[in-house]
Structure 1
């Protein structure tokens, strides 16, 4: 996608392994830990990394999962909030996978003078201001079904099932940067439009199409198109028209669903 590679950090690995042990011991899936519970290391992922010997000058985000191991990291791509997270500006990663549990810690390190829980939108690996990234990427093959309730928090509580989330993102490193959406659509191989909703950040909504839905959890540099029903197997074309800081952007690409 062009968003950069990640380097492995042993302290993020160790913290992920510790937290996996906590989840397994307590039979739960969570990012935070409760003091006094079996396997407790620290309250949140940032503090868990510090407890494992990591630096306090980084921002740490985490993915936690329980289920079939092959789906652990795949589930991140077939999502909304987690997809925007894993394709952001983080630089390092630590992963623990065993016994049907999976934990991945991600961190932003460069240009960070403090730290905390969550992924900072500044620093780290940034797209060039003239670049964009999108998923599914060109010629990708993805599931035709997304279950919003499997993602926590749920990005579409009114939909039991939906189609594959489609993401478009740009660089918005400074607080003044913003991505706005004029049109964002999906068409099938017969060139028929696929019913879908556009999700944009609260900052992006004022300059975006009236039909765009505001979602406070969407990053300022990200827009999503969510088909409101699962899509049949086949080839689809996504088209995005919008602007970064008023500079027009137009992009179309194709992918397949199964």
Structure 2
């Protein structure tokens, strides 16, 4: 998870455990909590960390999951917003996993500012400039089916079923840094193009290909290619072409679907 190794943090662990219990008691999947409901500690993940004695000088993000515990990480990786969350610039981690619930709290402690809810995109562990990270990784084996409605928020409300989300991201540590996308395609067995849509953050839309869809929930520096239907078993090649701050960046890689 993240760009580099993470340090386990006792306060993030305790807050994750408390929030897991809250979700279990209320049979909900949520990052926030409602005052007066069973197990309530604080309203959002940052406040939940403060409630157990964590430092206020950090930025806190959270991923949550309900289902077979063995599938927790795979479910987060096989998504849009949760994938960008586990591959961000976090430095610390806290985990709670039991009773078919999984909560992962992440912290960025070296970013400037007072701290708050959400991972600051500055500070923390950053990718080297003018390099990119992507998922699925080279030669990975991933499920060819993604259910957009299973993720909150839903990245594609018009699609009941889709293919695996494909991510490309770059360093955008400075507010002026921007990723633009000129092309992002997926080819399947036999070289056939897979129908897909490109999702980009607000800042990326003006300089990107006209067909790119603006998504306000994406972090700056992150772009996704979402196949608009499940993909069959076989080997696929993803190709990204774009620019970071006007400097061209491109990458092609292959993975297998089952």
Give the TM bin, normalised by the shorter chain: over 0.9
Query: 1:2 Cα shift?
Result: 8.0
- CA distance in 1 between partners of 2:197 and 2:150 (Å): 19
After superposition, give the CA deviation of every residue in 1:20-39 in whole Å (9 maximum; x if it has no partner). Answer: 11111222221111222211
- CA distance in 2 between partners of 1:241 and 1:113 (Å): 33
TM-score when normalising by structure 2: 0.97
Query: 1:52 Cα shift?
Result: 1.0
**Comparing 110-119 and 222-231, the one that deviates more:** 110-119
- CA distance in 1 between partners of 2:193 and 2:49 (Å): 46
* Alignment partner, residue 240 of structure 1: 240
Contact 2:6 2:90 in 1 (8 A): yes
Contact 2:161 2:230 in 1 (8 A): yes
Query: 1:130 Cα shift?
Result: 2.2
- CA distance in 2 between partners of 1:54 and 1:2 (Å): 21
* Alignment partner, residue 181 of structure 1: 181
Contact 2:93 2:107 in 1 (8 A): yes
* Alignment partner, residue 13 of structure 2: 13
Mark the runs of 5 or more structure 2 residues left unpaired by the alignment. none
**Comparing 110-119 and 50-59, the one that deviates more:** 110-119
Query: 1:111 Cα shift?
Result: 2.9
Query: 1:85 Cα shift?
Result: 1.2
Query: 1:177 Cα shift?
Result: 0.5
* Alignment partner, residue 221 of structure 1: 221
After superposition, give the CA deviation of every residue in 1:204-229 in whole Å (9 maximum; x if it has no partner). Answer: 11111111111111122011000000
- CA distance in 2 between partners of 1:218 and 1:102 (Å): 22
Q: Which runs of 4+ in 1 moved over 6 A?
A: none
Partner of 1:60, secondary structure, is strand
- CA distance in 2 between partners of 1:211 and 1:29 (Å): 33
Q: CA RMSD in A?
A: 1.2
Pair 1:134-2:129 in alignment:
no
* Alignment partner, residue 150 of structure 2: 150
* Alignment partner, residue 116 of structure 2: 116
After superposition, give the CA deviation of every residue in 1:4-56 in whole Å (9 maximum; x if it has no partner). Answer: 12111111001101111111122222111122221111111101101111100
- CA distance in 1 between partners of 2:184 and 2:111 (Å): 33
Partner of 1:83, secondary structure, is helix
* Alignment partner, residue 195 of structure 2: 195
- CA distance in 1 between partners of 2:105 and 2:112 (Å): 17
Pair 1:60-2:60 in alignment:
yes
